[in-house]
Amino acid sequence: MDRQMPKEYENALKTGTTTVGLVCSDGVVLASDRRATMGHFIASKDVQKIFDIDENLAMTVAGSVADAQALVRMLKAESRLYRLKYGKDMKAKNAAALLANMMFQYKFFPYWVQLIVAGKEEDGFGVYSIDALGGTTAETCTSTGSGSPVAYGVLESNYKEGSTVKDMVPIAAKAISMAMKRDSATGESVDVITITKSGFKRLEKEDVKKLVES
């Protein structure tokens, strides 16, 4: 499927960041940097780009901060409504479909973001990549943002389907770390989260630092 978009959309999305998402045998791993840029200016050195939607669902954002924050708020609200209506947690595929529909409705005035949605499914775990026009693909290993070409080099050399979360956490951290060295819009530090049967967990900064330096 051709998921290319007009150049003006493509340029808007490449405003800086790198995120990755990996499916493992026992969960998912998401990672990102923490730098926010405005052109060549570093606007912030400690921006959250991975959000917990609930205990079993999370998303990463690349692109416009305001658009990303709006989508996170909406998805959190929809997740709560889903639990009240159906008596169970929203699955990753449900969240991806909902976000894709939201973004498609605004395709002429799009949200300037690229998203990764990850979490539990009915059977196992899933990761979905969503572009600014609502195009969605199910992935086992994916990356978004301006540093994604560098991150993909690390992921495609080291990612193996069926690996455990424990094995893939260092790979995700290394992918972001390498992107930070080559992409000026990606930087500061690495943020890593996991979702397993135990739920959402954000790794401590010192633990991530040790992974990057090892």
pLDDT tens profile 75-114: 999 999 999 999 999 999 999 999 999 889 887 677 888 9
User: What amino acid is encoded at 4 in this protein?
Assistant: Q
**Per-residue pLDDT at 77:** 95
82, part of any domain: yes
Sheet of 199-202: strand order equals 141-144, 19-24, 27-33, 190-196, 199-202
2, part of any domain: no
149, part of any domain: yes
Is residue 198 scored above 50 in pLDDT? yes
Measured CA to CA, the distance from residue 180 to residue 173 in angstroms comes to 11
**Per-residue pLDDT at 146:** 85
Which CATH number fits the domain that encloses residue 69?
3.60.20.10
Range of the domain at 179: 7-213
| pTM beyond 0.85 | yes
Q: Tell me the per-residue pLDDT of 10-62, one tens digit each, with 9 for 90 and over.
A: 444 345 689 999 999 999 999 999 887 777 777 777 788 999 999 999 999 98
**Per-residue pLDDT at 160:** 93
137, part of any domain: yes
Is residue 180 scored above 70 in pLDDT? yes
Is residue 151 scored above 80 in pLDDT? yes
**Per-residue pLDDT at 181:** 85
71, part of any domain: yes
**Per-residue pLDDT at 16:** 64
Residue for token pair 């992409």: 183
70, part of any domain: yes
Is residue 186 scored above 80 in pLDDT? no
Is residue 211 scored above 70 in pLDDT? yes
177, part of any domain: yes
Beta bridge pairs of residue 51: 59
DSSP letter for each residue of the chain: ------HHHHHHH-SS--EEEEEETTEEEEEEE--EEETTEEEES----EEEEETTEEEEEEE-HHHHHHHHHHHHHHHHHHHHHHSSPPPHHHHHHHHHHHHHHTTTS---EEEEEEEE-SSSEEEEEE-TT--EEEESEEEESTTHHHHHHHHHHH--TT--HHHHHHHHHHHHHHHHHH-TTS-S-EEEEEEETTEEEEPPHHHHHHHHH-
1, part of any domain: no
Is residue 128 scored above 80 in pLDDT? yes
User: What amino acid is encoded at 111 in this protein?
Assistant: Y
Number of structural domains the chain divides into: 1
Residues 6+ apart with CB under 8 A from 175: 18, 20, 31, 143, 150, 151, 152, 154, 155
Average pLDDT value over all residues in the chain: 87
- Return the ∠ at Cα 200 (arms to 149 and 44), rounded to 5°: 50
Active site residue 17: yes
Q: Give me the catalytic one of 15, 17, 37, 142.
A: 17
Query: Quick one: tokens of 91?
Result: 């699955």
